[in-house]
Chains A and B, each alone.
Chain A
Amino acid sequence: MGIFLPLVWFRHDDLKEMLDSNKDSLKLEAMKRIVAMIARGKNASDLFPAVVKNVACKNIEVKKLVYVYLVRYAEEQQDLALLSISTFQRGLKDPNQLIRASALRVLSSIRVPIIVPIMMLAIKEAASDMSPYVRKTAAHAIPKLYSLDSDQKDQLIEVIEKLLADKTTLVAGSVVMAFEEVCPERIDLIHKNYRKLCNLLIDVEEWGQVVIINMLTRYARTQFLSPNQNESLLEENTEKAFYGSEEEDAKDAKAEAAVLAKCKPYVMDPDHRLLLRNTKPLLQSRNAAVVMAVAQLYFHLAPKAEVGVIAKALVRLLRSHSEVQYVVLQNVATMSIKRRGMFEPYLKSFYIRSTDPTQIKILKLEVLTNLANETNISTILREFQTYIRSMDKDFVAATIQAIGRCATNIGKVRDTCLNGLVQLLSNRDELVVAESVVVIKKLLQMQPAQHSEIIKHMAKLTDNIQVGWGVAGPRERGWQQCHMSEGISQVPMARASILWLIGEYCEHVPKIAPDVLRKMAKSFTNEEDIVKLQVINLAAKLYLTNSKQSKLLTQYVLNLAKYDQNYDIRDRARFIRQLIVPTEKSGALNKYAKKLFLAQKPAPILESSFKDRDHFQLGSLSHLLNAKAVGYQELPDWPDEAPDPSVRNVEVPEWTKCTSREKRKEKVEKPFYSDSEGESGPTESADSEPESGSEENGSSSSSGSSSSGTEEEEEEEEEDSGEQSEDKEEEEEVEKRPKRKDKEGSHKAVLGSAGSPSEEEEEEERAKKAKKKAPQGRKGRVETSSEASTSESSSSGSDSGSEAEAKQRKPPSSKASPKEISLLDLDDFTPSPVQPIPSSSIISTSLVTDLEGLTLTDSSLTPTLLSPAFSAVKTYELLHRMAGEGLAVEYCFSRRPFPGDPHMVAVQIQISNNTDTEVKNLRVNEPKPLSGMRIQEFPEIEHLAPGDTATVVMGIDFCDSTQAANFQLCTHTRQFYVSIQPPVGELMAPVFMSENEFKKEQGKLMGMSEITEKLTLPEKCQSDHTIVQQLTSAANVGRVPCGASNEYRFAAKTVTSGSLVLITLERREGSTAQLTINSEKMVIGTMLVKDIIQALAQ
């Protein structure tokens, strides 16, 4: 040692020298060696002063390695570590986001309490950084600071609250992580972000997904009602028969009472549904942790009927690494007890291969046992027979246990199993025999009378199962989960079991029993404790039943036991002697000795060790260990009454949210979601009778709609009175936008729909005012309700979706909350003749979409717009006069939102009758849309007089593709096959956004989502006006204000999926220009480029 020490010293010296040099390569070499030392766990702390000097080194790799060193040793050398702080503070201001982020990362990783205030400040600042990456780092820093100084909690919660509101997927996962570490109890912080998190979920990176899903599981448990409350009643009733514990009865009764008292059908909260729907695709994730997280979410939250979807995904995980299998099987074992049916189809996936590790084999066995029922038991037993011959003895023992369990659970096969097990008694392997004995003993207890032969057979076995085979003492019955028995022998247990059996049923084997006792008395001193106890027990029982033959033996055994080393045995001997041998002192108990010893004993229930493990959140560490781990958050029970769902409403809707929501909407497979209804409450009902209105829901769907309808009426009256002033306001709004008036009508419409916050606020305020005034007199216009619903269904907003929901729940008389007012804006709609909307379609109204609704208002106020007055509107021929035998049909894209379904493109169809007879029953027939495409037909035209022309509107959802929609146009005599093919420019609707928003969105759509093309503008197409006009005629887009004079910006959203399409046209010198299109939809982008260039070239 003495020789080595200076050596080490010298080596460090030379490292110091290298670090002090001014050559980066030397420094790097030194740092590499130091890091290698750290990695090997060698102490390098004495180099701290030399290393810390290099924290400001220019070379980035040296810097990084210094960071690594610093984070490792700062805690030990706090004073010196402070030297580096200023460097990081400088780094926090760096223009490069990577440097800002890494400075924050290192600063927050240095565990020096003195710098807590600096860290706090840095985190706060970073939380509002421009770069989402830096914000993410800030979120990561929160738990670090919290672990350093938990007094900062309140301030940190503020930061968390702020970051929770962040809309980028990058931040979401990290901030929820911070939330879980710092303040998991502050569930109220989630309310406002709940829907956003649900919607962003699929785009969050996989690790974040796991954390978010686990958190949302807990959240949902506190906020929604149990989707299984009706079934749970039934379930518990049946279960009671099996395990009639009093506690459960009490619970049962309570639950029953509660349910009966309310006696209302269950209707799932749409937010609850949203969560289930948005997590489902993640079952397809490649990340096992994500799949498991979704599986546990479904297990804990989904209605019983829907939980099944997770089975397939979980079975898939069984193909993964053995560690993954291990965890998944543990969870499957728990699930399969509760929901056996779920895994039954996958029974064969749990068959065991000889190459599986033992711990996996045993878990699979557990699952197979749980899955066994009357129908599949024969196959399972046949499998088990193969397993019994395995070379892996631990596994064989477990299989025997499993057979025992199958036998107790399924009466039909009990005898078969018993016979099989008895055969095993002649197995050569002692362990197998011993395990069988233990299991047989349990089975025999169920019907001892019929099996005295077996008991006799077993009695003979005491000789075969020899003493001293194993060393370990008694072991708890039932193998403990899968931690292997570590070679603990079952043999003493088996001997004890046989003795107990003989004692218990000594009347069945009257000849053998005393003989066995004789033998055991002989070997008493060499037995294991557990066996000794049973020998005493046997002696006592024999004494009571057959004292003649066994009196002396019993005395002998008790005397031996009296001097045993184990005090348990001494105690037992004393106790039993008092009890069975009558003396003067022994009192009343003596008489009852026989009753005490030979009472009927209930047969043991062989239960899975996974029973009742599901009170732990599945997939958690605590569940796996079956013990509460540090920091485990209990999964709360469902509330009896749902808390107020309106807390999740978000007042100011954001564009991003809307788009993401619309994107998601496509994913919903269930047909009724794709309807215009979006998320109307009743469709969500898991109950079979959604119509029988629950109290909470206010009323049945129809009355619900009518009630809200009336409410809107009232509002409308108010609106009417205040309309003038409002109009003025609106005009002012319009005026505010620069150079807007000169744009085409459609642009005005766009403008109207624009959701700038200020406008919204005004709207809201106005609405508030209107609300306050008491509604007077209803004129009861027929259309009102349908209008309202029309407009509402045209909305696509996500956040306010629930506003209407909330509204629906509240009785109409309830006080209007400020959120509801958005409904006000729906008022002045002209009844749309086109679409009869089912009255149940009361839905959401986001302000945004309301405003979109205003577009409609505008246009209906100026009826001229109804016809394609817009000069640029092109008409296309649908049916030529010749082909149509005098019937000519033309269509154009009116570029107005299709009332009733925001995902449809409105197609205005002009039909002129050039024949000299009347055309009757003109209608659309047999639309044959391609997959996903939907067509909303126009109402039938009953008569069309000769020479007359009729204009109707139909809606087509093209699914953002330019494929043609095919359908038949029928008259009373003929059918014509026609098709409408939309130009790509018509597949979108304009959106309004500010310049900043535009830039932000554009920033998100870089890379492959960006298409750039150069073009030359022709002579006549040089003026601003013509360019804008040509462009807007080519595509249905809205102009975005732009600071630069040589740039034009336009924005639109695709109609079906709501993906943003951003167009930038930049004029260069001469007549050249550059066209850039940013859109998630590549295909649309490319086609649009072509179309626009063509339009501009004309």
Chain B
Amino acid sequence: MIHSLFLINAAGDIFLEKHWKSVVSRSVCDYFFEAQERASEAENVPPVIPTPHHYLLSVYRHKIFFVAVIQSEVPPLFVIEFLHRVVDTFQDYFGVCSEVIIKDNVVVVYEVLEEMLDNGFPLATESNILKELIKPPTILRTVVNTITGSTNVGDQLPTGQLSVVPWRRTGVKYTNNEAYFDVIEEIDAIIDKSGSTITAEIQGVIDACVKLTGMPDLTLSFMNPRLLDDVSFHPCVRFKRWESERILSFIPPDGNFRLLSYHVSAQNLVAIPVYVKHNISFRDSSSLGRFEITVGPKQTMGKTIEGVMVTSQMPKSVLNMTLTPSQGTHVFDPVTKLLSWDVGKINPQKLPSLKGSVSLQAGTSKPDENPTINLQFKIQQLAISGLKVNRLDMYGEKYKPFKGIKYMTKAGKFQVRT
């Protein structure tokens, strides 16, 4: 399975290496650098690179390449999924996953990696278990450790690893027992030139933050579970119950986790909450183009649209843009040709707009394509699919937990073609 792992930063330095079997020389990464050079952008580096003796599988996150070296046949998704899990674990441990943080916590990182794989095969990947084996660093603990000489390493086998609920640590205690669920829906859409929807789907997740004492057994039911077309669960969810009763029944892991991700069936028409009016034109003769976009609300169910952000990749021949926004701020990066406009809240009475001119490189012909507009926005207190949580019950523990549910709709990959 996984032989070695190299962490490579944007500059092409290998800043961490770990081997689970015999040592593989870091020169194997030369093949990776070669591929990286060939691909113009980091995201175009092929995730699987064959070399004469090894295969390099990589993921790119947080500006770091995680390159796994394998020697023989293994399902590529197995490795890729695992690497992503490693990144998630780091994020969970240190809050952020960056080169600096990893370098600062190199010993903890090493210990965690040691526990995650044995001989290249995943051993413990549940963050709840890992945290029992190796405690995440906190300022307090670091201070205490330096004084008392105690350690970050647990000396007992986490009971979770042996029990039927391997994802939950035992002996959890809280003074305030609380369970929060965030229903977050994302709209993926492609809107064509004329404003009609080419494709639109809703993908949702329920992220939970559960801080409950003991071994609570929760059930979460929906008012309209039929909406959910395709679901994938955290392993804690009892599939049986869902199949028969459409109820989520689970013993939650401790802390933050993604309970469920779902897809709302394509039959349901997706309400598109915003529209974009655009008028972008380049002329062949002159080196000036016109640029004008207006963003407005549409089908928002009475909620305000916040955090609107418009980004657009301009053609290479655009030299500069002179624009005036009616609200918010805009930036045009003449190097990457990326225009971004931070709009903020949409006021239906006074629609935000961005107008101005585009100066093109003299002598070149007009670009073939008008730029695509990518949109980001947020709507609080609304699940656009209409999904509603009915109730949350707890069994197995006596106390009354504090429960909270939050809904939010966001733009996923929301594109307007112009």
Contacts and interface: CB of A to CB of B under 8 A. Distances in A.
Interface string A475-517: 0000000111010000000000000000000000000000000
Given A35-B106, A353-B190, A143 B119 contact: yes
A443 to B, nearest CB: 23
A1005 interface: yes
A667 B76 contact: no
Interface string B8-40: 000000111111011100100000000000110
Given A39-B17, A105-B118, A483-B46, A316 B415 contact: no
Contacts of A322: 43, 47
Contacts of B92: none
A1018 B47 CA distance: 71
B287 interface: no
A1070 interface: no
B47 A326 contact: yes
A326 B161 CA distance: 33
B106 A288 contact: no
A624 B48 contact: yes
A629 B73 contact: yes
Contacts of B365: 428
Interface of B: 1, 14-19, 21-23, 26, 38-39, 41, 43-44, 46-48, 50, 55, 58-61, 70-78, 80-82, 84, 106-107, 109-111, 114, 118-119, 121-123, 125, 146, 149, 151-153, 155-157, 159, 161-166, 170, 188, 190, 192, 198-199, 201, 203, 214-217, 229-235, 239-240, 243-245, 251, 258, 261, 263, 266, 313, 315-316, 365, 367-369, 372, 374, 395-396, 413, 415, 417
Interface residues on A, range: 35 or more
A72 interface: yes
Contact of B77 (A32, A203, A328, A627): A328
Nearest to B75: A619
Contacts of B231: 284
B44 A484 contact: yes
A60 B155 contact: yes
A395 to B, nearest CB: 11
A140 B109 contact: no
A788 interface: no
A765 B151 CA distance: 60
A625 B121 contact: no
Contacts of B315: 391
A408 B52 CA distance: 38
Contacts of B22: 75, 111
Interface in A1041-1084: 1080, 1082-1083
Nearest to A26: B149
A1005 B199 contact: no
| Chain A contact residues, majority secondary structure | helix
Contacts of B417: 386
Interface in A683-698: none
Interface string A105-122: 100110100000000000
A36 B107 contact: yes
B43 A287 contact: no
Nearest to B18: A39
A235 interface: no
A40 B415 contact: no
A134 to B, nearest CB: 10
Interface string A145-177: 001000000000000000000000010001001
Interface string A122-144: 00000000011100010011011
A1083 B218 CA distance: 12
Contacts of B118: 105, 109, 137, 140
Nearest to A325: B47
A67 B155 CA distance: 15
Contacts of A60: 151, 153, 155
Nearest to B258: A286
Contact of A284 (B14, B239, B368, B413): B239
30 contacts: A39-B16, A40-B16, A40-B17, A61-B152, A75-B23, A96-B156, A96-B157, A101-B157, A205-B125, A285-B232, A292-B75, A312-B229, A312-B230, A321-B59, A324-B77, A353-B413, A391-B316, A429-B368, A619-B76, A620-B73, A621-B55, A621-B70, A621-B75, A624-B48, A624-B76, A632-B72, A633-B73, A667-B239, A1009-B164, A1086-B395
Nearest to A663: B240
A318 to B, nearest CB: 10
Contacts of B216: 1008
A207 B16 contact: no
Contacts of B367: 391
Contacts of B244: 666, 931-932, 959
Contacts of A210: 75, 78
Contact of B261 (A286, A959, A1004, A1009): A286
A73 to B, nearest CB: 9
Contacts of B55: 621, 625, 629
A202 interface: yes
B303 to A, nearest CB: 24
Contacts of A24: 149
A64 interface: yes
A323 interface: yes
Contacts of B17: 39-41
Contacts of B240: 663, 666-667
Contact of A207 (B70, B109, B121, B153): B121
Contact of B43 (A357, A486, A627, A1005): A357
Instruction: Identify the 5 closest CB pairs spanning chains A and B, nearest first.
Output: A1008-B215, A631-B72, A61-B151, A348-B199, A98-B157
Contacts of A313: 230, 232
B374 A355 contact: yes
Contacts of A817: none
Among the interface residues A36, A61, A316, A669, which one has the most CB atoms of the partner chain B within 10 A? A61
Contacts of A774: none
Contact of A323 (B14, B47, B413): B47
A475 to B, nearest CB: 15
Contact of A348 (B155, B198, B313): B198
A969 interface: no
Contacts of B44: 357-359, 484
Interface in A423-443: 427-429
Nearest to A134: B157
B12 to A, nearest CB: 14
A25 interface: yes
Contacts of A629: 50, 55, 72-73
B26 A327 contact: no
A327 B21 contact: no
Contact of B395 (A214, A389, A959, A1082): A1082
A155 B166 CA distance: 32
A352 to B, nearest CB: 9
A141 B119 CA distance: 8
A1048 to B, nearest CB: 24
Given A133-B161, A1083-B395, A25 B43 contact: no
A97 interface: yes
B76 to A, nearest CB: 5
Contact of B80 (A109, A132, A324): A324
